[in-house]
Structures are given as structure tokens and as C-alpha cells.
Amino acid sequence: MNRTTVGGPKLGGGRGAGGVVVLADPAGAGSGAVAPLLANSLHPSVLLRADDFRRAIRQGFVPSHLPQAHRQNETALAAAIQAAFAFATGGYQVVLEATVAPPALDVLRRESRTTGAPLHYVVLRPSGGPGKSDPPDRHDVDVAAEPKATAGTVLAGLGRGAFLLGW
């Protein structure tokens, strides 16, 4: 079966693998609205939200903003990452909406290297918000526009390989 996209960029790296797009943002910057638009533009696709993996914990859940939630948050993110690459190796284009700290980038890179599925990293930055005085990174996308326009900007960048994260 040919695992290419319809109406969007080809994210996969050959061997039938799909790709993983990590969509990160500071809270409230728009990934919740942009992520489903991206997933709907890729075929076949999967949308995973790291928050859903945290909410799956039924007993012993600790609110994620508390310091004692560190292990829980890391475990949930690791599960989301493993699920993302499992879908990618099955040929799906995966959009993973997650807050990703530098240690998690190492986990993402390792999974990408192990599975052969390409990894794309996109950080949505609110216009004029925190961090905007910093020079923009090549993975940054300004979210001043409506979610549909932001999704279009991200898709165009994915098509050019602009957000590809090396090993």
C-alpha cells in the first residue's frame, strides 16, 4: 500500500513509514486549534495529544503543574512518543501535540532514529508574547493569524522540510 499524503506534504521516510510532527507551544498559543487542522490535511493521519495520556491516569493523578507530577508527566509524554512512532511505523502521518522540554527531544530523536520515521518539530509562538524578543528559531511559527492560516504555514514548511529535526 502506498502511504503518501493527499492534499499535504509527504512526511514519511520510505520503507512504508509515516512521519511524526511534534506541535509544541506555550499554553494557549493555539496548538489545540491548529493540530486537528494539520492532522486533517495529512493522509492517513493520527492526532495524539500528550494531555490525553496524562488524563488517562485514573488513580494517583497529580495536577501536572505541581512539582511532584514530574515523573507522571515524563511517563505520559514517553507513552505519547512511543504511540506516535508506533503509528508512524505503520505508515501514518502523526501530529503529536505536546509541550516538549529538551530532554524529551532526545527521546524523540532516539525513536526517530530507531524506527526510521522522520521527525518534524514545530513551535507555535504567539505574536508579541513571551519569548518573541528572542531571535526566531527555524522551528518557530508565528501564530498571529487564524488557526487555518497557521496550519497552512506549517504545512508549507513541512513540505519544504523546514521543520525536520535531525538525529
**Residue 124 burial (CB count, 10 A):** 24
Half-sphere exposure of 165 (CA within 13 A, CB side): 25
What is the C-alpha separation between 1 and 80, in angstroms, rounded? Answer: 26
Cα separations in angstroms, 96 against 109, 130, 133, 156? 14, 23, 27, 18
The bridge status of strand 119-125 relative to strand 140-142 is parallel
**Residue 99 burial (CB count, 10 A):** 16
Mean pLDDT in consecutive groups of 10 residues from the start of the chain, 167 residues: 43 69 84 95 96 94 93 94 96 93 86 95 78 66 85 94 88
pLDDT at 120: 96
pLDDT at 84: 97
Sequence-distant (6+) residues with CB within 8 A of 107 are: 77, 78, 81
Give the predicted TM-score (pTM) of the model. Answer: 0.86
